[in-house]
Amino acid sequence: MQRRRAEVVLKLKTPWHDGTTHLVMTPQEFMQRLAALVPRPRLRLIRFHGVLAPNAKLRAQVVPQRPHEHADASELASCEANCAHHRPVRMSWARLLKRVFEIDLEHCPNCGGELKIIAAILEAPVIERILTHLGLQARAPPRAPARGQTLLHAA
């Protein structure tokens, strides 16, 4: 009994110039062709060639430049409000917290007025003093051991 070889048949959208309408290949050849289409990790998928290339001599004449410093302030203000390239790209951490956890750190919970950051305290002793003064726990609760460790010790 003859064993049949596995094949992958790929139907082309349009026939080639020589009349080929299907490609027949082994599964390994098919996977090689698919793997060639996958980009390397952390590779930019958009590449610019010609005048838009990063080191092109004529790029400065084609790509829009920043507005000149001597431009009218009112023109800049209207451009900043309307132009997409002047809008901030990243959201502030306060807006991210509001979006994810529904914690509004931009408005006062009592009066609804706008809040602003006046300090960022990073020293542990100062943070502990403030928390104990407010009657809150200065230390974080102890962490429980990972669940997987208890199963390993029980076995």
pLDDT of residue 17: 93
pLDDT of residue 13: 93
Our CA angle for 22, 25, 26, nearest 5°, is: 155
Structure tokens at 92: 């502030």
For 71-118, write each residue's pLDDT tens digit: 555 565 566 555 655 555 778 888 888 888 888 888 888 898 988 888
Range of 46-50, 90-94, 124-128 with top mean pLDDT? 124-128
Strands (E), 12-152: 22-25
Torsion of Cα atoms, 67 then 69 then 72 then 75, to 10°: 30
Label residue 15 by pLDDT band (50, 70, 90). Answer: very high
Higher pLDDT: 89 or 141? It is 141
What is the value of pTM for the model shown?
A: 0.30
pLDDT of residue 138: 85
Instruction: Report the largest interatomic distance among the alpha carbons of the chain, rounded to a whole angstrom.
Output: 87
